[in-house]
A and B are shown apart, each in its own frame.
Chain A
């Protein structure tokens, strides 16, 4: 029984075990050979990716039903593992260049990924909470990795304080849900609520607290305050990784818990979700316009993207739409991951010592001097905006169409209008790159270059076959329950 349980979550077990091994091995790796730690971690990720793919999307329960492995988990795990590889590729040269090189970065990254994978498996609120902590704690540390830099320290402290506050709210929500029903496992919660034996008021309060906690992690207005400062202060590779990983894991929790457990609360929750999505899209996009620092710009852009994702989630309780809505979100998360890692790869090559080279104005001339990087950055900015021929376009297309399908035309209109606004600040980067003269110093590194170009190629390439990607996402969703 127990060995079968471990076998069900084998990729996670291997990843967590490997991260401890790498952490210990790193202690004996000499200071100038930290590349070994990075390589060991990358090998681990590749092996785990192989194990995950080999297991496929078969539905399996383990650990007394607290863990559920299915297509949904498979799809997101692949995103996390590939994201982890990109995270290592971006970090290696950067950490060395900025004199931050310490081997712990890579095992911490692996542990964060194990937390994210655990989140996709979670079928019990205790596991949801622990996964949230397991993915957040390494991210807090990674945000403060440049610990002699005041901005980085501020980022780590802010992220830690607000993040643990959010975790506290999630935990309180879990406690109230347990008080309302006597269960922490999702099936038990659903059954109690269907049978009508639980305490509805506590149930609603618990659901609201979970929503607040997850909103912190995904950066939904008004719980987004930490994002610009943390994105700016943390070392760029850590920012890239957290902007993808923490967000996708937060949305994974939101999808799994809300679609499974809270459809009965849709009368109360739908207006709240509607309002949150609307403010997030408006605030994120409008505040991004005035940003001069590219890291802050991408922070506000990331807030806006959360708004779009949440927009598709508003009709979550509508059984006919909810599977489409989750498929659209999963699709968009893929597009967002690729685009984000690509954009940060360019930013990392542009960043100089002492945090120079991070203003949008510093990008002047990049398009002419380094045509490939310029082209890649253009593709990412277009993909963020949602211009056709990029994956971002199809992502937004599916998000908007699910919102309309669910009967939220007004929300889709807000999304469309704010997308037009977003074109202004995304395209400004492109304009600066091509239209203004300049010779930006670029620290080329083959791994970072590879990440940027590969991401650009995939963003464009997959845009020609959006249907098959969406099919994958749809398959992932059908096994959610």
Chain B
């Protein structure tokens, strides 16, 4: 039962990932990506990590996908160009990907004796929000604080790089209005 579910899920994940990179319409690509995020979230759930699954849904499938679609709409870039800028990069990429897979395959098969199995933690509620909360705010509180600094930098960067110097959008509009008025007076 679990194996069958896992296989279905795997097919959906790989299929939606392929759909993301192959569809010629950026909006469809974004929707495939949303499907991919959702199915990966289900995979996390199967692996016994409900919290990560919920984060995947709220942050990735929720807000990040919204951002993606915003950008696509903002740029009016829903139709992707049919040709590539770099000639032959697709074949090179496929070839190199196959080489990487082959190398990894050989390593994992030929060195089978080296692939010892690490026993996963067996606590019943391992990975539950409560466990994560306790771990985050006792053992890993330095990383949490660093993350808050990262979020601060992200906020500053988002504001700084999306708009002009020392002026709010309202000021900019006012300036445009004044300029138009001045033009009309001329």
Contacts and interface: CB of A to CB of B under 8 A. Distances in A.
Closest 9 CB pairs between A and B?
Answer: A200-B114, A141-B157, A130-B146, A137-B153, A63-B142, A182-B118, A201-B115, A199-B115, A199-B116
A254 interface: no
A199 B146 contact: no
Given A67-B142, A200-B116, A201-B115, A156 B161 contact: yes
B153 A134 contact: yes
Contacts of A104: 156, 160
B104 interface: yes
B162 to A, nearest CB: 9
Interface in B89-128: 104, 107-108, 111, 114-119, 121
Interface of A: 5, 16, 20, 23, 31, 63-64, 66-67, 100, 102, 104, 107-108, 111, 114, 118, 126-127, 130-131, 133-134, 137-138, 140-141, 144-145, 147-148, 156, 179-182, 196-202, 204-205
B66 interface: no
Contacts of B141: 63
A111 B155 CA distance: 13
B166 A130 contact: no
B142 A199 contact: no
A127 B160 contact: no
B7 interface: no
Contact of A202 (B115, B119, B147): B115
A16 B146 CA distance: 9
Interface in B57-92: none
B156 A23 contact: yes
24 contacts: A5-B142, A16-B149, A23-B152, A23-B156, A66-B142, A104-B156, A108-B153, A111-B149, A111-B153, A126-B140, A134-B146, A138-B153, A141-B153, A141-B156, A180-B118, A182-B118, A182-B119, A199-B115, A199-B117, A200-B111, A200-B114, A200-B116, A201-B107, A201-B114
Contacts of A130: 143, 146-147, 150
Given A137-B150, A141-B157, A199-B114, 6 more contacts: A102-B166, A126-B143, A127-B142, A130-B143, A196-B116, A201-B108
B139 interface: yes
A108 B104 contact: no
B154 interface: yes
Interface of B: 104, 107-108, 111, 114-119, 121, 139-143, 146-147, 149-150, 152-154, 156-157, 160-161, 164-166
Contacts of B157: 137-138, 140-141
Nearest to B156: A104
Contacts of B165: 100, 102
Contact of A198 (B118, B121, B139, B143): B118
Contacts of B111: 200-201
B161 A141 contact: yes
Tell me if B's interface is mostly helix, strand, loop or mixed. Answer: helix
A31 B107 CA distance: 60
A102 B117 contact: no
Contact of B107 (A145, A148, A205): A205
A163 to B, nearest CB: 13
B107 to A, nearest CB: 5
A197 B116 contact: yes
Contact of B150 (A133, A147, A179, A196): A133
Contacts of A204: 107
- Most chain A beta carbons < 10 A, residue from B104, B117, B143: B143
B153 A199 contact: no
Contacts of B150: 130, 133-134, 137
A35 to B, nearest CB: 15
Contact of B149 (A114, A144, A147): A114
A118 B117 CA distance: 32
Contacts of A102: 160, 165-166
Nearest to A118: B146
Nearest to B144: A130
A20 B152 CA distance: 9
A134 B115 contact: no
A75 B147 CA distance: 26
Nearest to A9: B142
Nearest to B110: A201
A67 B143 CA distance: 11
A233 to B, nearest CB: 14
Contacts of B104: 205
Contacts of B153: 108, 111, 134, 137-138, 141
B40 to A, nearest CB: 14
Contact of A127 (B107, B108, B143): B143
Contacts of A179: 118
B80 to A, nearest CB: 17
Contacts of B164: 148
Contacts of A134: 146, 149-150, 153
A16 B149 CA distance: 8
A380 B108 CA distance: 49
Contacts of B160: 102, 104, 141, 145, 147
Contact of B139 (A20, A64, A108): A64
B138 to A, nearest CB: 9
Contacts of B139: 64
A96 B60 CA distance: 40
B123 to A, nearest CB: 13
A156 B160 CA distance: 12
- Most chain B beta carbons < 10 A, residue from A66, A127, A141, A179: A141
A133 B149 CA distance: 10
A67 B139 CA distance: 12
Contacts of B166: 31, 102
Contacts of A199: 114-118
A126 B140 CA distance: 9
B71 to A, nearest CB: 13
